[in-house]
Amino acid sequence: MSSPKVIFGFHAVGVRIKTAPQSVIEVMFDASRRDARMKQFMARAQDAGVRLVEADGARLSKLSGSHGHQGVAARVEPISQTHSLDELLEGLEATDTMPLLLVLDGVTDPHNLGACLRVADGAGAHAVIAPKDHAAGINATVAKVASGAAETVPYFMVTNLARTLGELKERDIWCVGTSDDAPATLYQTDLKRPLALVLGAEGAGMRQLTRKSCDELISIPMMGAVESLNVSVASGVCLYEAMRQRS
């Protein structure tokens, strides 16, 4: 059985209390914080029946490994999610659901990963996929930035990203990569199909083999002096355009 982990911040802890209160071992809170936001949070926690423990700021910082805990941290049991990408895709096929996946190549910054998970959750993406050796893993910082999305969006770290893209294509999932030099733009592309959007890290972009493994390359139009967007912003632009076309 997996050992308990720590999550922190109002959003991350609040989402866990809302979606899986039985997995919360205890919630530690800074009793010196008596503002409206803390009072609302405490009321929700008490309604959910979770165990509440007073703690000072120093203990919360040590527990969470961050000063950005907002006065709230929780020890939680891991939630059992879909065990594999194949299992997730088979479930989508069984329910005749058109897949929407976000693939990240080389995103190693936990703040970027957390923001990508958050936007993936907001746009209704079914999973985020990344290579094991060129990506950030889920940690407390990722969970904090993701504002609860690290608990709701499956995150699969695969051994060989190019092979995984090949397997997606075998399932008739169209793999669309973003590249500054692509002739077609996001808004000229049909995203109303089983889709995997593939984005590389800011600056380096996708690795060459990842790029070659895509069915199509598209660009995000840039009208100003800045040449590219942060990967989490680019993910949001692409995912929400897919959501707009599909709706």
What is the separation, in whole angstroms, between the first and last Cα of the chain?
41
For 61, half-sphere exposure in the C-beta direction (CA atoms, 13 angstrom radius) is 5
Tell me if 209 is assigned to a ligand binding site: no
What single-letter amino acid sits at 9?
A: G
Q: Give the span between the Cα atoms of 16 and 163, in whole angstroms.
A: 34
Q: Give the span between the Cα atoms of 57 and 51, in whole angstroms.
A: 18
Residue 245's CB is within 10 A of a number of other CB atoms, namely 14
Tell me if 229 is assigned to a ligand binding site: yes
Selection from 143, 62, 127 nearest residue 89 by Cα: 127
Q: Give the span between the Cα atoms of 200 and 68, in whole angstroms.
A: 28
Tell me if 220 is assigned to a ligand binding site: yes
Q: Which residues are annotated as a binding site for S-adenosyl-L-methionine?
A: 200, 220, 229
Q: Which residues are annotated as a binding site?
A: 200, 220, 229
